A and B are shown apart, each in its own frame.
Chain A
Amino acid sequence: MLDGRGSVKRRAGARLWLSAGWLAVLVLAALLAPWITPKDPLAQDLFLGRLPPFWETGAEPGYYLGTDSLGRDVLSRILYGARLALIVALVAGSITCLLGAGLGLLAGFLRGWVDVLISRFIDIWMAFPPVLFSILLIAVIGPGLGSIILAIVIIDWTRFARVVRAEAMAQGAMDYVASARVAGRGRLGIMLREILPNVLPTIVVLLTLEMGIAVIVEAILSFVNLSISTDDPTWGGMIAEGRAAVYQAWWVLVFPLITLFLTVLSFSQLGEGLKDRFDPVLR
């Protein structure tokens, strides 16, 4: 039994490190993209269209993971795509977190009409099919990096708001909050100094998970061809092209898919790992 528990812990640790490791590699790749990419990710050469990866016959030297139908280097596009994916993950994740957690905290701590109003909005939001809603929003605000971030924030704030609201409510009922109130602390003070620190681990875990979701949403929007522009290298855009030509050039789908898969898995496993480590609430 003790052995069993020990091995589970080790596995959880390995999970955490592997995820963090992959994400670190990705960050490095994104930062160093201009120096490490073998080719220009935008350069088209129709004579070099659909070259297979290096170990297949017919491969050209320098195009390690092959090329797409327009002759663009798959590896270079994946590396540049990492920049966009990570920007979306960080910026959209953080803004969503601030908005959602803020509203959740207000609703859960202040209760009353604020809570009624925010909860009603959450209910309405939960009745929207999220993917359709995001596609609709992008169609409305028009494509572009800012639009994607905005769409993610508008759709996903409820993920934070729901959990943080419930958590703030539970914390608000505890004795230490009552004693802070007796001690004469103001409502804002109690909310920020007493409740927020106790909800923070939950928020950090949700933020990690949200980053993975943001990467997926960006990929989905690029896949539906609503994301940035068709030229800019995005993993979702590459996947869309690969899906269309999956029988002719599987590598155009496989390599961005593996990258996206590992990235989403890493964010999620990192979140789960952090949850097991730090957060008694979500466990």
Chain B
Amino acid sequence: MSYLEIDRLSVRLRGGGPLLRQVSLTVAAGEVRGLVGESGAGKSMIGKAVLGILPRSTEITAGRIVLDGVDLLTLPPAERRRRIGATCALIPQDPLTALNPSRRIGPQITDRLVDILGWPRVRAEARARELLAEVYIPDPERVMRSYPHELSGGMRQRILIASAFAAEPKLIVADEPTTALDVTVQKQILKLIKEMQERHGTALLFVTHDLGVVSKVCQSLSVLYAGLVVEDCAVRDFFRAPGHAYSAALLAATPKYTDAVASLTPVPDTVIAAVRAEVAAADRRMSHG
């Protein structure tokens, strides 16, 4: 049975157009699912909906988000927050803005353990040291006493990864966790996330626009266009033979070091027209049913 099940979830801008169109997907325990699409396709929106951090300007109009057998959207807000805090975590995109500049690193890792899960402070601090060592941070003791501005971007992303795994969550949403980093650091961080995920057996919802990353980290994959899931498949199958014309075009547009010409191929207009027709059809289904 899947740990997370999103069932026909629709989100729209308040008083505006749809952002997610009846999105359905599942993540099994320990599975890594990639969410890919162009920017604005709504891939981050899915992660935010799961974690209950959708912007105030948006609203969920329909659907269910079932976490461990419980529909989150039917819970009272405080209860939902606690449940998410205890079982899920976020690895954010930009490590430079995701740590509070006026608080030391230590409390930013341990606060959830102490305040939400009720651990004794000493145990939480020991746990934080242990995790910092796991993400290869030398001298965890000193780092925990530091302020964010004293650390490099790569360091901070490691800290955020450690912090995400601190409460042994069952599900982690990684929202383009390497996009804001230097190319040289990207590979290390990606490897680290994969390593931590395997060691802790955590399910991962991996939001990215980079199919190369998907091929290295994920087992299954959802391709989004304009808030609509156009393909949902295993990663193996996807790279062998994409099931949807848009997916194929996306794959063709991905840089390949062996073929410089192919990497410049844009998504053809005919494919765009076809996928837009699909989106319109989905909208008609939604308004009629």
Contact = CB atoms under 8 A, between A and B. Distances in A.
Contacts of B14: 1
A206 to B, nearest CB: 34
Contacts of A2: 15-16
A3 interface: yes
A2 B16 CA distance: 9
Interface in A136-155: none
B270 interface: no
Interface string A1-44: 11100000000000000000000000000000000000000000
Instruction: Bin the interface of chain B by size.
Output: under 10
Contacts, number: 7
B57 interface: yes
B110 to A, nearest CB: 37
B57 to A, nearest CB: 6
Contacts of A3: 15
Interface of B: 13-16, 57
A215 B169 CA distance: 65
7 tightest A-B contacts by CB? Answer: A1-B57, A1-B14, A2-B15, A1-B15, A3-B15, A1-B13, A2-B16
Nearest to A3: B15
A112 B15 CA distance: 54
A3 B57 CA distance: 12
Nearest to A2: B15
| Interface of B: prevailing SS | loop
Interface string A154-193: 0000000000000000000000000000000000000000
A2 B15 CA distance: 8
B155 to A, nearest CB: 35
7 contacts: A1-B13, A1-B14, A1-B15, A1-B57, A2-B15, A2-B16, A3-B15
Contacts of B13: 1
A2 B13 CA distance: 11
A150 to B, nearest CB: 48
A1 B16 CA distance: 9
A226 to B, nearest CB: 49
A97 B45 CA distance: 52
A154 to B, nearest CB: 43
A2 B14 CA distance: 9
A153 to B, nearest CB: 44
A178 to B, nearest CB: 32
Contacts of B16: 2
Nearest to B13: A1
Contacts of A1: 13-15, 57
A47 to B, nearest CB: 67
Contacts of B57: 1
Nearest to B56: A1
A3 B13 CA distance: 13
A167 B264 CA distance: 46
A196 to B, nearest CB: 39
Contacts of B15: 1-3
A3 B14 CA distance: 11
B21 to A, nearest CB: 21
A260 to B, nearest CB: 42
B249 to A, nearest CB: 34
B16 to A, nearest CB: 8
A233 to B, nearest CB: 54
A3 B16 CA distance: 11
A3 to B, nearest CB: 7
Interface in A56-112: none
A3 B15 CA distance: 9
A157 to B, nearest CB: 39
A5 to B, nearest CB: 11
A112 B117 CA distance: 61
A2 B57 CA distance: 10
A248 to B, nearest CB: 55
A66 B15 CA distance: 55
A9 B35 CA distance: 40
Nearest to B14: A1
A1 B15 CA distance: 7
Nearest to B58: A1
A1 to B, nearest CB: 6
A2 B17 CA distance: 13
A30 B257 CA distance: 81
